[in-house]
Amino acid sequence: MGAYATKRIGYALLTIFFISVITFTLMNLIPGGPFLSEKNIPKETVAALNAKYGLDKPLPQQYLNYMGKMLTGDLGDSLKQKGRSANDIILTAFPTSAKLAGISILIAVILGIIMGSVSALNRGRFSDRALMVLSTLGIAVPSFVMATFLLIIFGVKLKCLPTFGLRSAAAYILPCTTLAFYPMSYITRLMRSGMLDALDQDYIRTARSKGVGRMILLYKHALRNAVLPVITYLGPLIAYMVTGSFVVEKIFNIPGLGREFINCITARDYPMVMSTTIFLAVLIVVMNLIVDLCYKLVDPRITLQ
């Protein structure tokens, strides 16, 4: 286990190194720059700005400077959001995103597992069909449609929920529902097929013939196997929820990391592009590692190598 973890961490560091090089190269390849303005700026001003942020140095040196500072924990200053460092921005935005994503994942996993199981146990019946229609909708409807729909119904027409921000508990309802809807639907489907698969297995039949109760059968025997694909899905899901919440953050005006991640690219805010990308890369790598370790807990047959 220890050797396995060491190896994985080694690979992770290598991955992050490649990501940083590729991001840095691509970012400098796209046309345009951070100090372009619609109005003409004196070239002395642009030169002063470039010197201030070290952008007047050759690119390899800029890369080394950046990575060197990053190792000491300094992600650099934002070029656009004057007076804020990338550390500040990520530290304020990430907890918001994490909270939102955490709640949504919880909803998605709990409801998804229950709905998937119910669906599998009632295969072909009305409840199964209804749940499948719902989960198809959840996968097909894009989040901005969902968000706007909820906003109009609950915010504008019924006026019972706040339409923006996260200032009260009620404010979480609309964005979390929107965010949770897609993964919930996906998990429902994963769970349904996993469950159907498990219920067909010989050991289930054996257990049943020995008179094991329905609930115990489900929880103790079928669920464990059926839930494995869901765990695999959780790793990328967490990363998707933190970065992919751009639309939801924009519509509900939530100060999260998804907006920073997208906006810094259009603004050519180089240090922000680097730090958000590396931050999220680390997050994804760590999540995947945790998921892999979790496999073993759920299914002792799996050996980690």
Q: Scan residues 247-266 and list those touching other proteins (CB under 8 A).
A: 250-255, 259, 266
> CA-to-CA distance for 193 and 196, rounded, in angstroms?
5
Task: Report the site for other proteins in 189-248 (rule: CB under 8 A).
Answer: none
Residue 140 in contact with other proteins, rule: CB under 8 A: no
**Nearest Cα to Cα of residue 20 among 55, 56, 70, 87:** 70
Among 63, 164, 240, 295, binds other proteins (CB under 8 A): 164
Per DSSP (E only), the strands in 77-116 are none
Among 76, 77, 221, 243, binds other proteins (CB under 8 A): 77
Stretch that binds other proteins, among 39-47, 64-72, 196-204, 279-287 (CB under 8 A): 39-47
Site for other proteins contains 134 (CB under 8 A): yes
Applying CB under 8 A, does 176 fall inside the site for other proteins?
Answer: yes
Is residue 282 within 8 Å of residue 16, measured between CB atoms?
yes
Indicate which single residue of 174, 227, 239, 242 sits in contact with other proteins (rule: CB under 8 A): 174
> In 3-state terms, what secondary structure has residue 289?
helix
When the beta carbons of 260 and 280 are compared against other proteins, the nearer one is 260
Least distance from C-beta 228 to other proteins, angstroms? 23
Helix (H, G, I), strand (E, B) or coil at 70: helix
Coil, strand or helix at 40: coil
34 versus 235: smaller Cβ distance to other proteins: 34
Q: Which is nearer to other proteins, 173 or 287 (CB)?
A: 173
Contact window for other proteins (CB under 8 A) among 16-24, 29-37, 282-290, 297-305: 29-37
C-beta of residue 98 within 8 angstroms of C-beta of residue 56: no
The neighbouring-strand residues paired with 85 are 77
Query: In this chain, which of 80, 99, 208, 296 binds other proteins, going by CB under 8 A?
Result: 80
DSSP letters along 202-237, please? HHHHHHHHTT--HHHIIIIIIHHHHTHHHHHHHHHH
Among 48, 140, 216, 302, binds other proteins (CB under 8 A): 48
- Binders of other proteins: how many residues, by CB under 8 A? 74
Q: How far is Cα 136 from Cα 185, in angstroms, rounded to an integer?
A: 7
Residues in 114-133 at the binding interface with other proteins, rule: CB under 8 A: 114-115, 118-119, 121-122, 125-127, 130-131
Residues 189, 192, 221, 268: which binds other proteins (CB under 8 A)?
268
Handedness of CA 65, 70, 71, 72 (dihedral sign): positive
Residue 148: CA atoms inside 13 Å, Cβ hemisphere, count? 5
